[in-house]
Structure 1
């Protein structure tokens, strides 16, 4: 079996108990929950799920594209991730083999010796009231070479990412796109630079007004200092909202 050392950022969430690892992966398999496959040197995310587990190996569905399967089996560092019940489970594999399971094209890999499990509380998500008017500036270049700068509203925030609303529908509704140059506003006088990966998106057609683009984004390789600033802001926002709730409760409208 391979030795999958977690990143320093994830080390405190490491699970090394074989029994616990098998239990977590078995839950993913029984509930047919989606796994994503990522190669370290690319931004490509490939959807899969666990087909079977036996002894010290597991089998997952192969990618629909033979080229992607070839890249996975030739890579020496493949990362698997899942989000069961809004938690995060992540592990890596250094050797993945192409095979077939019950008429499915499949990928075979060792059950990891370690994995990372981050509970929901670590990514506590809090809604951002519209009155806060928090924004994120996203700079990017289109495939045609045109530079764009888009301001979007922040609808919710956690230590793991943000929800944004593009009121001008300027960002394309693409998933797995990474925006490397983003400026996240944290209150009136503070801002931090982050990288964002789009994990989900949809188009809203309001009864009145122009279409809106909604995105769920995760932070990518966030420096510790930036993450600490984001977490402090979340706590501050939570305190302010709790104080407002108490105020309303003590002084209800007549």
Structure 2
């Protein structure tokens, strides 16, 4: 995945200044902040945590994964997408990964990106959706077997930039960079808005009795202004309700 393939809506948040990019990455290294490698189309955990160990003028050196097979998959996986959340912002970029060593320890080497995306959290304020709200998203798609599916996924967090959802039926495939074009997002009682969702992260949770849940982090794609306004109104309303409940609980 090339940096130019990030969402068009992210273009206005793109940072191309090499000096600024190095400053952002150096600050993350100094604070030992978590950097997540987002893998796609693999039968393994899709999000791999790492951190920046060292930097030079042309590259950064990252903590390797604990599993040799996972490191092999990362190196052979082509361009890997990286994401981090330093100081109330979202940073993401992509690059090819190589094996190397730092002080005789296995590490991963990535070239300093030519550009990255930096989005302030205030642009996409994410709020947890209480279970009592029972917020859902209807997702329609055709599976690999040609079967048409409709999944009502539970929404557990929401922002103007996307949603976190759980597929209780475990029917949605655990794949990233997949876009679902036919979705209906509930915003309260009897209110639904059409959205397109791009899966940015996914993971599987195993429950008792051989049951599974599939969790996804999704971005909205090309959201119409009217729909975005409805989402923002819902978020503000939900925030007011949560604040009112906090005051009541502490009163």
Please report the TM-score for the alignment, with normalisation by the length of structure 1: 0.66
For structure 1, the residue ranges without an aligned partner over 5 or more in a row are: none
| TM-aligned CA deviation for residue 116 of structure 1 | 2.2
Tell me the residue number matched to 1:183.
184
Tell me the residue number matched to 1:101.
101
Tell me the residue number matched to 2:217.
217
Deviations 1:118-155 (A, max 9, x none): 23333322233444332111223344333221212223
Q: Which deviates further from its counterpart, 189-198 or 99-108?
A: 99-108
**Quick check: 2:172–2:214 contact (8 Å CA) kept in 1?**
no
Q: Which has the larger radius of gyration?
A: 1
| TM-aligned CA deviation for residue 243 of structure 1 | 5.2
Tell me the residue number matched to 2:196.
194
Deviations 1:189-237 (A, max 9, x none): 331222141434424559xxx9673624221534353444322321233
Aligned-CA RMSD value: 4.2
Distance 2:47 2:158 in 1: 25
| TM-aligned CA deviation for residue 87 of structure 1 | 3.3
Please report the TM-score for the alignment, with normalisation by the length of structure 2: 0.67
Tell me the residue number matched to 2:122.
121
The structure 1 residue matched to 2:55, chosen from 40, 53, 56, is: 53
**Quick check: 1:89–1:115 contact (8 Å CA) kept in 2?**
yes
* SS of equivalent to 1:64: helix
| TM-aligned CA deviation for residue 54 of structure 1 | 0.7
Aligned length: 233
For structure 2, the residue ranges without an aligned partner over 5 or more in a row are: none
Tell me the residue number matched to 1:156.
157
The 1:100–1:153 alpha-carbon spacing in structure 2 relative to 1, beyond 3 Å, is closer
Tell me, yes or no, if structure 1 residue 64 matches structure 2 residue 71: yes
